[in-house]
Amino acid sequence: MSSPYRLEMRGISKAFPGVQALSQVTLNVRPGTVHALMGENGAGKSTLMKCLFGIYKPDEGEIYLDGERADIPNSKAALAHGVSMIHQELHPVPHRSVMENIWLGRFPLMGVWPLRLVDERRMRRDTEALLQDLGLDIDPMAQVGSLSVSKIQSLEIAKAVSFQSKVIVMDEPTSSLTGNEVEQLFEIIEKLRGRGVSIIYISHKMEEILRISDDVTIMRDGKYIGTWEASELTTDLIISRMVGRDLNDRFPERSNVPSSVILKADGLTSTNPMSFKNVSFELRRGEILGVGGLVGAQRTELIEALFGLRQLKAGTIEIDGRKVSIKSPADAKKHGIALLTEERRTTGIFPVLSVYENTIIANLGRYRSRIGLIDERKGRREAADNVAKFRTKTPNVDTQIRNLSGGNQQKVLLARWLLTDPDILLLDEPTRGIDVGAKFEIYTIIAELARQGRTIVMISSEMPELLGMSDRIMVMSEGRMTGILDGRKATEQEIMRLAAQQRMA
């Protein structure tokens, strides 16, 4: 009797030193469906998918495809079985063409050995047919490094389809996409679903899950919690099953009281004519200033200028009433400013270094002895203190930070910058790619820092986050500041009106 499932993962367990990552996990995926896989960071979602794709070998359990047991010792075997995985962090070969990226490692050849050559004409023809079939308007000869993130995401999907995949895993596929780009992705997913392809979709965005999923499997602490039809679920039900408790309030109560002006920016203009222009604002002690806007609003560029990563053509910055010059991160640190960057994996963590090393690396002078050596005992003690303070889930401070979940990596980065004792903390999308439970913990840390009198500038693309955390909200559009709203009275409509102001002008 044939199986009703395209994929069955039965009793999958996987342990790492000091951590039981998966314990008897089950996953059953029907043909031609979008199956959401959800859970907090550290729930085991990525580990389970890496077991499916042959990156990890399970300690226990079996995998079945179309009712037949599949042995998947490596990624090549997974692809041969019709299983593809599109990772959250895209790693194309940027200086090669679209068609070369799609057929990498399996170029079509012509001629007879030993004079076999790549058949570029056939490769281009096959690429054009593949892209046309998926409705993708991408030049096969374009260098991948010149493409937008959404085009690279589409390229990875095309590559997966080229393997005749029956199962495609998509890990946070919309984390860097705009609204229109998300819609294009959903159109491709719908086309694949119609052809009987099974999509395993990992995302923290509840609206997406409820919109496109047929089934939802929820994991918690490396264990299987259950599978439900998406039509039976609500956002609140998903959250409570993910975290194992009801979250009546998504944001912590705040008792911070903004006081005197700590920083005044007047007429800040970038040296890049396509970036921000004539931006003026004030920051107050103990305040959380949210920064909203659409893609291209130049919010990141503005706060990077405050941190000395970008140069100013015009404008002045005053801290505590005195004009200061900030031309480098060292200048910013000297003036009590710290920056948590948007892309923690590329510009935040040092992946092969430990939690301890990642914690102290921004403030090594604090740990130098009189003869210039690092006092490891002091560094490890403070790293361990911060692990306990922020309830960071890690076996110990010697664990490589890349082995931590996204939310726990973010806690280590927060600890890193707090050890520099900043007065002003710049946070760029601090909860991107983090689940609801870990988000609440990050929010609690931010609220406590504001209560202590530190000033927080928080860029966020999530409306509920801006409205739930900000004392004031500064809105930007196409490099200009279009308004500042009272965070406790603002509405999504007001923010969107200001965010679209220049575009509509």
Chain segment 85-133, per-residue pLDDT in tens: 988 667 788 889 999 999 988 888 888 888 888 888 999 999 999 898 8
Mean pLDDT of 20-32: 94
pLDDT at 205: 78
Instruction: Tell me the three state secondary structure of residue 194.
Output: helix
pLDDT at 503: 44
| Backbone φ, ψ for residue 478 (5° rounding) | 50, 45
Q: What is the band of 63 on the pLDDT scale with cuts at 50, 70, 90?
A: very high
pTM: 0.62
| Mean pLDDT across the chain | 88
Contact 421, 336 (CB under 8 A): yes
pLDDT at 175: 67
* Residue 192 CB partners (closer than 8 Å, separation 6+): 157, 161, 168, 199
**CATH numbers and ranges of domains, the chain:** 7-243 (3.40.50.300), 249-336+422-505 (3.40.50.300), 350-421 (no CATH)
* Residue 363 CB partners (closer than 8 Å, separation 6+): 416, 419, 420
pLDDT at 504: 40
Mean pLDDT of 300-315: 94
The CA-atom distances, in angstroms, between 447 and each of 83, 261, 411, 486, 494 are 43, 19, 14, 17, 24
Please give the Cα distance from 477 to 466 (Å, whole number). Answer: 16
Please give the Cα distance from 488 to 469 (Å, whole number). Answer: 9
